[in-house]
Amino acid sequence: MGKILLSLRKPLPFFGAKRIFSVEKVPLEISPRTVYNDASQPIIGQDMQKSPVFVLPFSQLSKKDTPLAGGKGASLGEMTRAGIPVPPGFVVTANAFEHFAQTQDLSQEIRSILQTVDTNAVHTVEKASEKIQTLIRNAQIPAETEKEIKNAFRKLNTKYVAVRSSATAEDGADHAWAGQLSSFLNTTQEQLLNNIKECWASLYTPRAIFYRFEKGLHTAHISVAVVVQKMVESEKSGIAFSVHPVTEDPNQLIIEAGFGLGEAIVSGSVTPDSYVVSKKDL
């Protein structure tokens, strides 16, 4: 199953849809290509000696690139390549985060801090989270990565972008990172680098650390990419589920829609209108 975030400037058509009033939220799998390492592998800090790619436009990504671009980034790339109208953007890849962590000597320190966590003692989680996030916020993005990001931003020819975390382990079959990491709307060029670091740091919020241990992922390699996408002035937004998320009926499409930007729907801060659409009617 998959989900697509929609932003529309015109009223939503009904497509002969039947309106419903609630749809249960369940984890949805975008891509099966989540990559885990065994306990002997570092949590972060992979080998960056093989000409890593730090920034890629959507047009150069596809669904197979989840380990590099995360679930969101890979899906946006797949839709772009399929010719679906998607606001332009690029992905700061997981390689960029790994390179940042290595060059700033954060990898070993983060691993050491995570080893102090006892999920039965909340204060250890909060303390570890604060230490790791402070390390990331205070570190400098490498010059070559910063240059690539700024060049990609200029090519978008826009004043505002959305900056969204895209975890490489997001929306797996038995776990769902979606919605747990940070996103920032209406980001300017001056705010861009700091918001990218905030997305990286959100991989280590108390909630994310608890989830990592709860799902047995504390020894897995989980990284994070960052989607940078041109903002649009949307009158209405929505989420389209390509398969009914409750009944798993492949012949039904679910649309949840509301006014304004889609972030309010994704975050659960508003109750959207919901529609069941028969694919046979499309």
User: The pTM is what?
Assistant: 0.75
Amino acid at 155: K
For 112-145, write each residue's pLDDT tens digit. Answer: 999 999 988 999 999 999 999 999 999 999 999 9
- Indicate if the alpha-carbon torsion angle 199, 59, 153, 234 is positive or negative: negative
In the structure, what pLDDT confidence band is assigned to residue 165 with cuts at 50, 70 and 90?
very high
Domain locations in the chain as residue ranges:
1-30+234-282, 46-232
At 184 the three-state DSSP class reads: strand
**Inter-residue contact 101 to 76 (CB < 8 Å):** no
Q: Which CATH architecture has domain 46-232?
A: 2-Layer Sandwich (3.30)
